[in-house]
């Protein structure tokens, strides 16, 4: 019985640590069910499916993709980490997948915008497979951030690299709040304490 308890404890702790280091919260996806591409303002050639938006054969310098979220307006204001970084799931193919990208977030009527910059070469921590960090550009006040993120209706992606990479953009995500990590840590400590008490008994 002690062996089984130890095995369950080890498995639970492993899962907790894995969740803390690789989990993310999906904000929206670019699949056909939740995102509508505005073809009149889009310059890149694309195909849209449940997997996301696929550009074929490749993206080129200055290509843009503009679309609206079908479930919007979306309220992302509770995700405090978006004041600094947002994560975009991008799958690249081709000989040279390095491609600078800009993500613009619009509120109702396009009256305000937040701009994040990233690249296909991961900078810093990548949350989950193919999630790339996009950092908020300087010059945005906390008021602007709160105002736009509470009323997200559209986004625009602009490519800054040459057309040497095929791209599929699947979604946007944020990381868990610090309190989430704290709860996971407390859960692990509680399980460890339980195992110690079981051994002493």
Token look-up 């978006």 returns: 82
Residue 97 near residue 161, CB atoms below 8 Å = no
Taking a C-beta distance cutoff of 8 angstroms, is the pair 119, 99 a contact? yes
- Under the banding of pLDDT at 50, 70 and 90, the label for residue 183 is very low
According to the model, what pLDDT value does residue 20 have?
Answer: 39
d(CA 66, CA 158): 9
> Do both 42 and 125 map to the same domain?
yes
**Angle CA 109–113–115, to nearest 5:** 150
**Segments forming the whole domain that contains residue 16:** 1-23+177-201
> Does 121 share its domain with 200?
no
The whole-number pLDDT of residue 171 equals 93
Quick one: 192 and 106 in the same domain?
no
Q: Which of 104, 122, 123 is nearest to 114 (CA)?
A: 104
39 lies in the same domain as 119: yes
- Same-domain status, 89 and 171: yes
| The two structure tokens encoding residue 163 | 């057309």
Residues 168 and 155 in one domain: yes
Same domain (yes/no): 14, 39 = no
**In the chain, at which residue ranges do the beta strands (DSSP E only) sit?**
25-29, 35-37, 46-49, 52-55, 64-69, 85-93, 100-106, 113-119, 131-136, 154-159, 166-174
Tally of domains in the chain: 2
> Are 30 and 103 found together in one domain?
yes
Residues 171 and 102 occupy one common structural domain = yes
Phi and psi for 65 in degrees, rounded to 5? -130, 120
Indicate the pLDDT class of residue 151, thresholds 50, 70 and 90.
Answer: very high
User: Using one digit for the tens of pLDDT, what is the confidence trace for 48-100?
Assistant: 999 999 987 788 888 899 999 998 899 999 998 888 899 999 887 766 667 78
- Which residue bears the tokens 């619009």? 106
Give the separation between CA 52 and CA 33, rounded to whole angstroms. Answer: 9
Q: 43 φ, ψ to 5°? A: -105, -15
- pLDDT surpasses 60 at 174: yes
């Amino acid at each position: 019985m002690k062996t089984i308890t130890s095995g369950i404890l080890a498995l639970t702790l492993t899962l907790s640590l894995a969740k803390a280091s690789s989990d993310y919260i999906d904000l929206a996806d670019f699949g056909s069910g939740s995102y509508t591409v505005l073809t009149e303002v889009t310059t890149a050639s694309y195909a849209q499916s449940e997997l996301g938006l696929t550009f074929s054969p490749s993206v080129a310098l200055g290509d843009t993709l503009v679309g609206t979220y079908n479930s919007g307006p979306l309220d992302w204001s509770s995700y405090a980490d978006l004041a600094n970084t947002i994560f975009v799931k991008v799958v690249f193919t081709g000989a040279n997948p390095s491609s600078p990208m800009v993500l613009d977030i619009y509120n109702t009527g396009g009256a305000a915008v937040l701009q994040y910059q990233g690249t296909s070469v991961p900078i810093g921590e990548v949350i989950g497979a193919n999630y790339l960090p996009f950092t908020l550009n300087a010059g945005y006040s906390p008021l602007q951030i709160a105002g736009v993120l509470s009323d997200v209706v559209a986004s625009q992606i602009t490519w800054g690299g040459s057309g040497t990479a095929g791209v599929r953009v699947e979604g946007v995500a944020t990381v868990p709040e610090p309190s989430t990590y704290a709860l996971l840590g407390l859960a692990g400590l509680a399980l460890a304490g339980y195992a110690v008490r079981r051994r002493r008994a």
